[in-house]
Amino acid sequence: MKKTIFYALFLVQYLYGQNKMSLQQCIDYALKNHPNVTKAELEKQIGKYQMRETIGRGLPQLNADLDVRHFVELPTSLIPAAAFGGPPGVFIPVQFGTKNNAQANVQLSQLIFDGQYFIGIEASKLYYQLLNKQIQKTKEDLAGTIAKAYYAVIINQKRLDILLSNLAQLDSTINILTALKKNGMVESLEVDRVKVTYNNLKTELEKAKKLIDLSFNLLKFQMGMDLSQSFELDSDNLEQTIFNVINDNIAPNGSKRLEFDLLQQQIKLQKKNIQRYQFSRLPGIYGYATLSTQAQRNEFNFLDTKKQWFGFGLVGFQIKLPLFDGLVTHNRVQAEKNRLYTYEQDLRIFKQAVDFEVKNAETQFLNAKITLDIQKRNLELAQEVFRVSKQKYEKGVGSNLELVQAQTALEQAQINYYNTLLEAYAAYVDLKKSTGEILSTFYQK
């Protein structure tokens, strides 16, 4: 019996532990299930097939066709009557050929040289690399969003725990005061005053419960999880973890931002696009070979193996040399060069924006750290004031009003502390996002 109970408790504990998710696990779930990541991966697959399509255009092309014709009326040709001794200027109508004709062709073609083709291959490879970077950018944005949502849920749960604890404390106080009132030691006003505080706290408790549900659903949404699924968050050593994180020695530097790579890749692609149009002025060389067989019948009997088919074949090559296109290519190249300049200006603007964003995020983070330190000291002071007020009241040397005021001040200090704690962590997330280190900070593969 004891063994059965032991194994049952072990199983419950195991399953409970399995249902807990850390920040790392939440991010990992999102990276595997969120639609934005799926879409980015699909775009990468599309880019891969487009690259293969571009390469395939330079490979041998083999085509076959069958042309079967039936002439309801044979075409008529005119030949000079003088060729047969007739009068000059007179033409004789004649009809040649058979009413049924069939021709089967097999044609092989091969690109020998086309400047646009080789530039197209390079551009498609650059585009594929760009899609890889966009996947990474999607994952980074997702990690930052989930980190904020995750800690919002945990801190809201901490707020709820505090409200429950305070509510239990007030309930105990009400019971004590009610007993004292029966003995005529306190007035009804004092009991009512505490009950008002108790009722207000119950209202705040209901709000806190709804806020947790809302923040939890937001986290699930950001993770790409069905809202009906349930799990718990691992909040062990929350405060120590956050203090360790926000007290890291940080040297902000935005050089790791993926957007730099994305913009630079876009510039490389645009340069290849300009080259593609410039190379369109070069001649294109194509080789081909054709093997054909044909049959001519007055009867529709092409499947008759006794009737002969006549074959022929040819090989050759073709050179296409563009001479003048009405300055279309020239104007197109000039337009694309100007588009390249706009991309280069975008990169320059982004560099300036990143410098400002990093400095602003650093300032916000440092201010949050200072505010958090102040609120932590305020919380410690409020806890001490409440402790002393409670002792004084229990010894009969303190007033009920003083105890209620100390309780209210403690609740406000707790709220301020956890609000500031969340703000400090959000500022840390924003700082890491501004430096391009968001994914490496919160997610280790």
- Residue scoring higher pLDDT (228 or 62): 62
Residue where the block lists tokens 């809302």: 214
252 alpha carbon, distance to own chain's centre: 25
Q: Among residues 298, 320, 342, which one ends one of the domains? A: 320
Strand order of the sheet with strand 284-297?
61-70, 100-113, 284-297, 310-320
What 8-state DSSP symbol labels residue 114? Answer: -
Residue 7 confidence (pLDDT) = 39
Residues 309, 413, single domain; the answer is: no
State the average pLDDT over residues 49-57. 92
pLDDT at 314 over 50: yes
Residue where the block lists tokens 């340069």: 271
State the average pLDDT over residues 149-165. 88
Task: Please state which of the ranges 77-81, 173-177, 236-240, 372-376 shows the lowest mean pLDDT.
Answer: 236-240
Note whether residue 8 is domain-resident. Answer: no
- Of 249, 304, 270, 216, nearest to 431 by C-alpha is 249
Q: Among residues 270, 296, 320, which one ends one of the domains? A: 320
Residues 206, 259, single domain; the answer is: yes
| Exposure string for 258-292, b = 16+ CB within 10 A, e = fewer | bbbbbbebbebbbbbbbbbbbbbeeebebeebeeb
Region for 237 from its dihedrals, namely left if φ exceeds 0, alpha if ψ lies in -120 to 50, beta otherwise: left
DSSP annotation string for 152-190: HHHHHHHHHHHHHHHHHHHHHHHHHHHHHHHTTSS-HHH
Residues 128, 234, single domain; the answer is: yes
103 confidence band (pLDDT: 50, 70, 90): very high
Note whether residue 381 is domain-resident. Answer: yes
Note whether residue 1 is domain-resident. Answer: no
pLDDT at 28 over 80: yes
What CATH number is given to the structural domain containing 368?
1.20.1600.10
Distance from C-alpha of 66 to C-alpha of 106, rounded to nearest angstrom = 9
232 confidence band (pLDDT: 50, 70, 90): confident
- Of 362, 360, 351, 411, nearest to 382 by C-alpha is 411
What 8-state DSSP symbol labels residue 78? Answer: E
Residue 125 confidence (pLDDT) = 92
Q: Per DSSP, what are the bridge partners of residue 111? A: 286
Note whether residue 4 is domain-resident. Answer: no
Domain that holds residue 177: 18-57+114-283+326-442
User: What is the phi/psi pair of residue 131, to 5°?
Assistant: -65, -35
Residues 191, 316, single domain; the answer is: no
- Would you report the helix, strand and coil content of the chain in percent, each value rounded to 5? 65, 15, 20
Residue 3 confidence (pLDDT) = 42
Encoded amino acid at 114, one letter = D
343-355 pLDDT, tens digit each = 999 999 999 999 8
pLDDT at 175 over 80: yes
Residue 263 confidence (pLDDT) = 93
110 confidence band (pLDDT: 50, 70, 90): very high
Q: Among residues 297, 320, 343, which one ends one of the domains? A: 320
pLDDT at 321 over 80: yes
Residues 104, 30, single domain; the answer is: no
74-96 pLDDT, tens digit each = 888 888 888 777 788 888 888 88
Residues 103, 148, single domain; the answer is: no
DSSP annotation string for 2-26: HHHHHHHHHHHHHHHHHTEE-HHHH
Residues in the chain: 445
Distance from C-alpha of 443 to C-alpha of 24, rounded to nearest angstrom = 6
Note whether residue 10 is domain-resident. Answer: no
Task: Please state which of the ranges 220-234, 236-250, 251-265 shows the lowest mean pLDDT.
Answer: 236-250
Residues 171, 290, single domain; the answer is: no
Residue 17 confidence (pLDDT) = 44
pLDDT at 398 over 90: no
Residue 240 confidence (pLDDT) = 62
Note whether residue 294 is domain-resident. Answer: yes
Note whether residue 12 is domain-resident. Answer: no
pLDDT more than 70, % of the chain: 91
Residues 149, 102, single domain; the answer is: no
Residues 23, 137, single domain; the answer is: yes
Note whether residue 107 is domain-resident. Answer: yes
Residues 360, 347, single domain; the answer is: yes
6 confidence band (pLDDT: 50, 70, 90): very low
406 confidence band (pLDDT: 50, 70, 90): confident
| Number of compact structural domains in the chain | 2
251 confidence band (pLDDT: 50, 70, 90): low
State the average pLDDT over residues 254-271. 89
The chain-wide mean pLDDT, for the chain, equals: 85
Instruction: Calculate ∠ Cα 423-425-431, nearest 5°.
Output: 105
Please state, in angstroms and as integers, the Cα–Cα distance from residue 274 to each residue in 99, 122, 333, 339, 428, following that order: 54, 13, 6, 10, 42
Residues 209, 297, single domain; the answer is: no
Residues 289, 344, single domain; the answer is: no
- Residue scoring higher pLDDT (395 or 163): 163
